[in-house]
A and B are shown apart, each in its own frame.
Chain A
Amino acid sequence: MSKNGPLALCYHALFVAFMLAPIVVVVCVAFTPEGYLSFPTDHWSLRWFYAIGRYPEFISAFWRSLWLGALSSAIAVGFSVPAALAIARYRFAGRDAMTALFMSPLMIPHVVLGIAFLRFFTEIGLGGTFVGLVLAHIVIVLPFALRLTLASAVGLDRAIEHAAVSLGASEATVLRRITLPLIVPGLMSGWALAFINSFDEVTMTVFIAAPGTETLPVRMFLYIQDNIDPLVTSVSACVIAITVVALVALDRAYGLERLLIGRSVDAR
């Protein structure tokens, strides 16, 4: 394979600068010692990070986002295990339709889902509740959980299961001792990808979150709508830091490329 020329490398440098610029700017401005938006010039300060402590709504929104992400991703993985086994192992009428249905939250614009959930939850008395948020997030992260669960269920060597059966294991034992342990890595990365997507979701959640059940991205979005000050940059810097740590861990554990390729329409 031939190497990249100098022109290609210049283009690459500009491209990477473009991709990183907004993220770097947010992180830099977060360290400003001034009371207004500016770049730290002579010295850096943590005053805006300490300031987050004086805004309990950001802190509580952060914990809520964490719980919401962990809970809805875990439940989504729970739903996707049997569904993935059905899709991976059987050919049946409606198999493609079933797959398409489970993948549909990727294709329906999140604004439309937000509106539909708002209407639905208001009607059944779950409007603005945490339960409503969990239900909505299970649905929107299920495609991510299902995709990775499905990949590991398809890649599973059936000969191991057949060996267990021929040695006298019952169907339940095979499932518990062979099948599930073998797909656990897929389940864990499915959970992680689902968690990140739930943690970042803003478009749909902004419709169904009420004051008191706002998630962190929603709180940040609503704050930015009113005014942009260094406080929201320091909150963003924290979110970016958490995501980068998760990203590197995920890349080491599973390989980001494997995780993302084949990932299709994810409306934001």
Chain B
Amino acid sequence: MTHDPSVGVRRRHLPTSWGGAPYLLGLPALLLFAVVVIVPLAMTVLLSFHDWGQYKGIEPVFILKNWREVLSDPYYGEMFWRTFRIALAVTVLGAVFGAPEAYILNRMKSPWRGLFLLVILGPLLISVVARTLGWALLFGGNSGLVNKALVSLGLISAPLPFMFTETGVVVALTHVLMPYMVLAVWAALQRLDPQVENAAVALGAGPFTVLRRIVLPQVMPGILSGAIIVFALAASAFATPAIIGGRRLKVASTLAYDEFLNTLNWPLGATVAVLLLVALVLIVAGASRLVERRYAQVFG
């Protein structure tokens, strides 16, 4: 999905090992991951084919009942469509508002640059529950601060419902995931040579032309890789849609949670989760491939 720069660059300096040393070194972690990641994931896939009944519980048989139900019942179709619709909206908002901010941040002078980078990236490490609680307080029904501010600014005439709506989930999730977008664009901006910008200005380009013809094409890979990360995280987000969306506005992750901890229909919950995983892997892998192919030609 994303490549660690440290992995590829130094490869030609490395000794090729035909012996067991690297495997021996990697063995403890490999064993851990085989037992604690691969086995549980395989069990979950298997679980999605099991039967379940109110009184009989989970029956270890191999049937397609859950998959048929999830793929044919329009309730699940609507729920998955909502999940990806929210993720797409969050991604677009993140790119539209996050990319310019990264650019502004990059042009700041020394003390401010570091300070605001800390202020904007810091929330990434603050508990997502605390941040979402903040939005729940800001939205807080008709008397919430956001509505008061919007009405007093004359932007809206009547309070908008934010709590328990898709709009609210999108706003809060955009806030939660915004640092990833700023980070990705920021990283792309660091690789940019300011002399190219200066050359364009010296050749008579206006600031808008420089932005559109010089800066944007060069940071586009950063925006796109940020978009992939934000989309994947938004589509699988749990705490924010659970708190802001409430019990009625279900997305894939909150529905799976309900099936597991309230309805106790584990096989159905596992089906929803596996489908989410498969859909995300396909979308993210496809998008990454597309981005890489598009920009491999430009930057070689």
Q: Residues of A at under 8 Å CB distance from B?
A: 1-4, 8-9, 11-12, 15-16, 18-26, 29, 37, 79-80, 82-83, 85-92, 95-96, 98-99, 101-105, 107-113, 115-120, 123, 135-136, 138-139, 142, 147, 150-151, 154, 196, 199-200, 202-203, 206-207, 217, 220-221, 224-225, 228, 232-233, 236, 239-240, 243-244, 246-248, 251, 256-257, 260-268
Contacts and interface: CB of A to CB of B under 8 A. Distances in A.
Contacts of B127: 199-200, 202, 217, 220, 236, 239-240, 243
B206 to A, nearest CB: 12
A18 B175 contact: yes
Contact of A261 (B101, B187, B257): B187
A109 B280 contact: yes
B33 interface: yes
A12 B119 CA distance: 12
Contact of B29 (A83, A151, A203, A220): A83
Contact of A110 (B25, B32, B175, B238): B238
B1 A107 contact: yes
A182 to B, nearest CB: 16
B63 interface: no
A251 B104 CA distance: 21
Interface string B1-22: 1101111001100111100011
Contact of A266 (B40, B41, B233): B233
B5 A262 contact: yes
Q: Is the interface of A mostly helix, strand, loop or mixed?
A: helix
* 6 A-B pairs with the lowest CB-CB distances in the bound complex, closest first: A22-B134, A109-B236, A120-B40, A116-B40, A86-B25, A236-B130
B277 interface: yes
B91 interface: no
A212 to B, nearest CB: 16
Contacts of B27: 82
B266 interface: yes
A119 B266 contact: yes
A130 to B, nearest CB: 15
B203 interface: no
Given A25-B137, A37-B137, A118 B129 contact: no
Contacts of B130: 23, 26, 220, 236, 239-240
Interface residues of B, number: 102
Given A16-B116, A22-B138, A200-B126, A116 B41 contact: yes
A22 B134 CA distance: 4
A91 B242 contact: no
Interface in B20-67: 21-23, 25-30, 32-33, 36-37, 39-41, 43-44, 47
